[in-house]
Amino acid sequence: MGQDNFAPQKRSSTGGGGGLPTIRNEAGAGGRNRGFPSMPRGRQMHKTFNNIKITILCGFVTILVLRGTIGVGNLGSSEAEAINQNLIEETNRILAEIRSDSDPTDPDESPETELNPNVTYTLGPKITDWDQQRKVWLSKNPEFPNFVNGKARILLVTGSPPNPCDNAIGDHYLLKAIKNKIDYCRLHGIEIVYNMAHLDKELAGYWAKLPLIRRLMLSHPELEWIWWMDSDAFFTDMVFEIPLYKYEKYNLVIHGYPDLLFEQKSWIALNTGSFLFRNCQWSLDLLDAWAPMGPKGPIREEAGRILTANLKGRPAFEADDQSALIYLLLSQKDQWMDKVFIENQYYLHGYWAGLVDRYEEMMEKYHPGLGDERWPFVTHFVGCKPCGSYGDYSVERCLRSMQRAFNFADNQVLKLYGFRHRGLLGPNIKRIRNETATPLEIIDQLDIRRSVHGKTESKS
Amino acid sequence: MVDNCLGAQRSRKIQRTLRHCKVTILCLVLTVVVLRGTIGAGKFGTPGQDFVEIRDHLYSRKQGEPHRVLKEVQTTSSDNHDGADTNAGTNNYNEFDINKILIDEEPDVPKRDPNAPYSVGPRISDWDEQRSRWLQENPNYPNFIGPNKPRVLLVTGSSPKPCENPVGDHYLLKSIKNKIDYCRLHGIEIFYNMALLDAEMAGFWAKLPLIRKLLLSHPEVEFLWWMDSDAMFTDMAFEVPWERYKDSNFVMHGWNEMVYDQKNWIGLNTGSFLLRNGQWALDILDAWAPMGPKGKIREEAGKVLTRELKNRPVFEADDQSAMVYLLATQREKWGDKVYLENSYYLHGYWGILVDRYEEMIENYHPGLGDHRWPLVTHFVGCKPCGKFGDYSVERCLKQMDRAFNFGDNQILQIYGFTHKSLASRRVKRVRNETGNPLEVKDELGLLHPAFKAVK
């Protein structure tokens, strides 16, 4: 009843222009206004305003509440998460930049022109009188002799690429390897050069040692021997000293097996992961003869094919320095072999796979100073490639073995200080000798340097 | 409908009541929601948490901790590897967790009784006599390898476990290469420590038992030079002025006024210092150590130090603050043998140095060691081996690269090379090869420097 009364009034009011939905809501409007048969215009407007106010207020409150809970415009994540995400992305970008080979500072580097394959690559201008030059220099510079305290001056050269490894574990084992070398060289009075620069763009990778060795030889005439050692080789006999007296008539000392070399022509007959070069003209000539297979690109590829064809067991890949040296020594045997000493009486290079599992047996039965299969001088982790992404062996096996070799060697260093590792894998150490108030009594017995020096003195 | 049953008046009342109830309930719900949104309702959580939970549930993603800033986001290419996918057989280094290997095989030693007072070792009181007797008996191991040139052992170190930061080990490697280069030129031996000799003195205090052990095991060493792993040599030609310290036993970079008068906690720096081997060194190590043992002692000592020293923040006791406190409070006992050096950067705070390298290259030359060409640039606060430090990761790592290259250039120029720029890893030739290599002299004279000459 009321509705009928009201409706025409509504219609007239809405006819004026745009009624509000609330008033159009018949049920509500009807329910509310059922008790009132008539409504003056002013009151109605007043009521309209009230409703509008209530609506706005409710809307406002709703928005506030929603904002307080979910947030407006950032429905994906809360603020802290967003910052964190940004930081992580930024850091990843920095890490990727650090790891990548690209150099942000020289953007317009001209593309490297490949070497003309008809022109033989050379390491530098030919020198023919290095022995005389060196002798003259040594006589003019007596304060830089090539023999110190009766021992020939040796320089250990090693290195790694200037970029971070593809994975963090690789850098960690490079660090452990250099610590291991520092320890050995401190005990034996040998200096170290750790190279992280590519001196020659053409000879990158495993060939990089050639220009480096040549450069060091020519800059340091006071050096008698240059000892190259790979970054994945660990010293495992801290007492053993290289018997230089055996090599007085030789200029290259390298680990290998003559029968594998001459009879089988195997590509692993020698190992260029650890070898000694005398600083002399002969060595410069050998380096010059060795280098031509190295320059990267078609030369190296082609050389790789030749090497695979001529050496037994060699897989097909680009030329590497070891195969090239073997090939060189085989094909020009008469020119070089009389000055090359192929050493296998001790492990100047010791292939890791047959050695690392026997460390406990060695510790039980033998003692440091032997250098051979009873207590290997060097344990060389060929094929593990911890700095790359993939190795030739299982990662767990490689890392476990490297850690064992590291601890095995470190125990020999820590012995002087009265400690040793708790097991060959773990990082922690334990005391094996109590502190005393008279430490010097035991030092003389245990210091490796004193035992080494004693031996060389007795020989001379 | 209702008023047909109950009568108009009654139904009106009921409806009004219903309306009031509706309004009341609505207001109540609103209040609860608003309060929950602001204060939270205890274990029922906040709506924000609800939302996050729902999101996580939907995406089933592990919630990233806010501190894992440098966690590597591995794009595990787990698709199609011919070969083992399991950790045991994988050949891919990126998929392997090294912590599976680094486990101790032997049980831990029983812990020391915390109530017993800590000591670095049995007290020795005649070390000078013992040492001089030994030096007389062993003339092949003199403590001076030249006139005014003592035998120095540089000691540094890092943790035996891989760094938490994926590139941390790379920067440790560069840092040790840098030290190897300087020490080779200057006839200094290096000891790189990776062993924790005393579990109580872990962290920055680990150097104390190590230094004591090395001093006692190497009587031929005259000076022990401790250097942090985050410090790099940036002046390869500078030789430490040993004669200046002939009457001192402990040389640190610092300022007398800041230590003795102001008791400022950064009045000196224990990241790079020289300690002479002798009884005095053992005594000061004994006096320095008591604030070190971790746990309650270190915490309490930290509070004392924060209270006593100027500007020190609140954290557990560190070796540097402890040394400032020791010197400031016992000056008469130790001060006359401690030399606080500030005429060259035995320790150089990186923040004020690294941006000026280009300016230095233009205006100065190596061999100065001071603000014009710092001997050491020390990256305090960067903590490249940890997850995060006090400074931005990008700035720290980029500047460490620059400092490394700045020092490396001085080595490379010996051989005729230099880095293409201070930010670049690549090198370029600056001197052509000749047929007479021995006539070439490098500019800095580092090829055959005087401080390396053998008598």
**A with B: how many residue pairs have Cβ under 8 Å apart?**
293
Q: Extract the runs of DSSP E, i.e. beta strands, from A160-201.
A: 191-195
Contacts of B89 in chain A (CB under 8 A): 394, 396
Confidence of residue A8 (pLDDT cuts 50, 70, 90): very low
Confidence of residue A115 (pLDDT cuts 50, 70, 90): low
Contacts of A394 in chain B (CB under 8 A): 84, 88-91
Task: Quote the pLDDT of residue B327.
Answer: 96
Q: Extract the runs of DSSP E, i.e. beta strands, from B277-401.
A: 338-341, 376-378
CA distance B352 to A382: 45
Confidence of residue B44 (pLDDT cuts 50, 70, 90): low
Encoded tokens for B54: 């729902």
Contact by Cβ (8 Å): A156, A181: yes
Q: Residue A371 phi/psi, 5° resolution?
A: 75, -5
Return the DSSP state at A431. Answer: E
Task: Quote the pLDDT of residue B440.
Answer: 81
Task: Quote the pLDDT of residue B58.
Answer: 55
Please judge whether A423 and B104 are an interchain contact, meaning their C-beta atoms are less than 8 angstroms apart: yes
Please judge whether A168 and B12 are an interchain contact, meaning their C-beta atoms are less than 8 angstroms apart: no
Comparing B54 with B132, which gets the higher pLDDT? B132
Could you tell me the sign of the dihedral formed by the alpha carbons of A194, A200, A206, A210, in that order? negative
State pLDDT tens for residues A138-162.
999 999 999 998 899 999 999 999 9
- pLDDT beyond 80 at A271: yes
Q: Where are chain A's structural domains?
A: 130-442
Task: Quote the pLDDT of residue A31.
Answer: 41
State pLDDT tens for residues B24-34.
998 898 888 77
| Nearest-by-CA chain A residue for B98 | A169
Please judge whether B393 and A94 are an interchain contact, meaning their C-beta atoms are less than 8 angstroms apart: yes
- pLDDT beyond 70 at B5: no
State pLDDT tens for residues A167-180.
889 999 999 999 99
Comparing B376 with A445, which gets the higher pLDDT? B376
Please name the member of B88, B172, B447 whose beta carbon is closest to the beta carbon of A175. B172
Contact by Cβ (8 Å): B293, B111: no
Please judge whether A424 and B121 are an interchain contact, meaning their C-beta atoms are less than 8 angstroms apart: no
State pLDDT tens for residues B307-346.
999 999 999 999 999 999 999 999 999 999 999 999 999 9
The two beta strands, B338-341 and B250-254, are parallel
Could you tell me the sign of the dihedral formed by the alpha carbons of A277, A283, A289, A292, in that order? positive
Q: How far is Cα of residue B90 from the mean position of the Cα atoms in its chain?
A: 33
Helices B279-288 and B319-329, packing angle to 10 deg? 110
- pLDDT beyond 70 at A426: yes
Q: How far is Cα of residue B108 from the mean position of the Cα atoms in its chain?
A: 27
Comparing B121 with A29, which gets the higher pLDDT? B121
Please judge whether A396 and B68 are an interchain contact, meaning their C-beta atoms are less than 8 angstroms apart: no
Contacts of B161 in chain A (CB under 8 A): 427
Confidence of residue B46 (pLDDT cuts 50, 70, 90): low
Encoded tokens for B13: 């009342």
Of A86-100, A390-404, B66-80, B93-107, least confident by mean pLDDT is: B66-80
Encoded tokens for A116: 């003309």
- pLDDT beyond 60 at A107: no
Task: Quote the pLDDT of residue B71.
Answer: 38
Task: Quote the pLDDT of residue B432.
Answer: 87
Please judge whether B162 and A169 are an interchain contact, meaning their C-beta atoms are less than 8 angstroms apart: yes
Percent of chain B with pLDDT over 70: 85
Distance from CA of A388 to the nearest CA of B (A): 8
Contact by Cβ (8 Å): A414, B195: yes
Q: How far is Cα of residue A63 from the mean position of the Cα atoms in its chain?
A: 55
State pLDDT tens for residues A381-425.
999 999 988 888 998 999 999 999 999 999 999 999 999 999 999
Please judge whether A219 and B415 are an interchain contact, meaning their C-beta atoms are less than 8 angstroms apart: yes
State pLDDT tens for residues B241-279.
999 999 999 999 999 999 999 999 999 999 999 999 999
3-state secondary structure B107-150: CCCCCCCCCCCCCCCCCCCCHHHHHHHHHHHCCCCCCEEECCEE
CA distance B224 to B218: 10
Please judge whether B93 and A178 are an interchain contact, meaning their C-beta atoms are less than 8 angstroms apart: no
Distance from CA of B343 to the nearest CA of A (A): 31
Confidence of residue A453 (pLDDT cuts 50, 70, 90): low
Query: What average pLDDT score do residues A16-41 get?
Result: 47
Please judge whether B425 and A416 are an interchain contact, meaning their C-beta atoms are less than 8 angstroms apart: no
How does the average pLDDT of chain B come out, rounded?
Answer: 86
- pLDDT beyond 70 at B48: no
Helices B127-137 and B279-288, packing angle to 10 deg? 140
Task: Quote the pLDDT of residue B42.
Answer: 54
Please judge whether A174 and B169 are an interchain contact, meaning their C-beta atoms are less than 8 angstroms apart: yes
Contacts of A175 in chain B (CB under 8 A): 158, 169, 172-173, 176
Task: Quote the pLDDT of residue A403.
Answer: 95
| Nearest-by-CA chain A residue for B409 | A197
Task: Quote the pLDDT of residue B53.
Answer: 65
Please judge whether B94 and A166 are an interchain contact, meaning their C-beta atoms are less than 8 angstroms apart: yes
Judge residue B409's burial from the number of C-beta atoms within 10 Å of its C-beta, 0-12 exposed, 13-18 middle, 19 or more buried: buried
Contacts of B393 in chain A (CB under 8 A): 90-91, 94
Percent of chain A with pLDDT over 90: 61
Which amino acid, one-letter code, is at B306? T
Task: Quote the pLDDT of residue A102.
Answer: 53
> Could you tell me which residues are beta bridge partners of residue B429?
B417
Q: Domains for chain B: give ranges and CATH numbers.
A: 127-431+438-452 (3.90.550.10)
Comparing A274 with B104, which gets the higher pLDDT? A274
Give Cβ neighbours of residue B212 (< 8 Å, ≥ 6 apart).
Answer: B120, B121, B282, B285
Please judge whether A395 and B213 are an interchain contact, meaning their C-beta atoms are less than 8 angstroms apart: no
Task: Quote the pLDDT of residue A78.
Answer: 56
Mutant choice from A396, A397, A448, A450 vs B, greatest count of B C-beta within 10 A: A396
Query: What average pLDDT score do residues A23-49 get?
Result: 60
The two beta strands, A147-148 and A151-152, are antiparallel
Distance from CA of A101 to the nearest CA of B (A): 9
Of B71-80, B299-308, B344-353, least confident by mean pLDDT is: B71-80
Task: Quote the pLDDT of residue B84.
Answer: 38
Placement of tokens 């998460």 in the chain:
A81
- Greatest Cα pair distance, chain A, in angstroms, is 133
The CATH H-level superfamily of A130-442 is Spore Coat Polysaccharide Biosynthesis Protein SpsA; Chain A (3.90.550.10)
Please name the member of A194, A419, A430 whose beta carbon is closest to the beta carbon of B180. A194
Distance from CA of B21 to the nearest CA of A (A): 16
Comparing B400 with A41, which gets the higher pLDDT? B400
Return the DSSP state at A107. Answer: T
Contacts of B216 in chain A (CB under 8 A): 439-440
Please judge whether B98 and A172 are an interchain contact, meaning their C-beta atoms are less than 8 angstroms apart: yes
- Count of CA atoms in the C-beta half-sphere (13 A) of A88: 15
Please name the member of B48, B95, B184 whose beta carbon is closest to the beta carbon of A192. B184
Q: Extract the runs of DSSP E, i.e. beta strands, from A310-425.
A: 340-343, 378-380, 419-421
Confidence of residue A15 (pLDDT cuts 50, 70, 90): very low
Contacts of A102 in chain B (CB under 8 A): none
Most confident of the ranges B54-68, B118-132, B201-215: B201-215
Contacts of A422 in chain B (CB under 8 A): 104-106, 108
Per the confidence metrics, is the pTM higher than 0.90? no
Give Cβ neighbours of residue A199 (< 8 Å, ≥ 6 apart).
Answer: A208, A211, A212, A215, B415, B417, B427
Task: Quote the pLDDT of residue A65.
Answer: 77
Mutant choice from B34, B170, B447 vs A, greatest count of A C-beta within 10 A: B170
User: Secondary structure of chain B: what % helix, strand, coil (to 5)?
Assistant: 45, 15, 45
Which amino acid, one-letter code, is at B272? S
Please name the member of A69, A197, A423 whose beta carbon is closest to the beta carbon of B48. A69
CA distance B413 to B365: 13
Mutant choice from A216, A393, A429 vs B, greatest count of B C-beta within 10 A: A429
State pLDDT tens for residues A331-390.
999 999 999 999 999 999 999 999 999 999 999 999 999 999 999 999 999 999 999 888
Please judge whether A419 and B415 are an interchain contact, meaning their C-beta atoms are less than 8 angstroms apart: no
Task: Quote the pLDDT of residue A47.
Answer: 87
CA distance B253 to B228: 13
How does the average pLDDT of chain A come out, rounded?
Answer: 84
- pLDDT beyond 50 at B213: yes
Encoded tokens for A123: 């390491």
Confidence of residue B54 (pLDDT cuts 50, 70, 90): low
Torsion region of A117: left, alpha or beta (phi above 0 gives left; psi -120 to 50 gives alpha): alpha
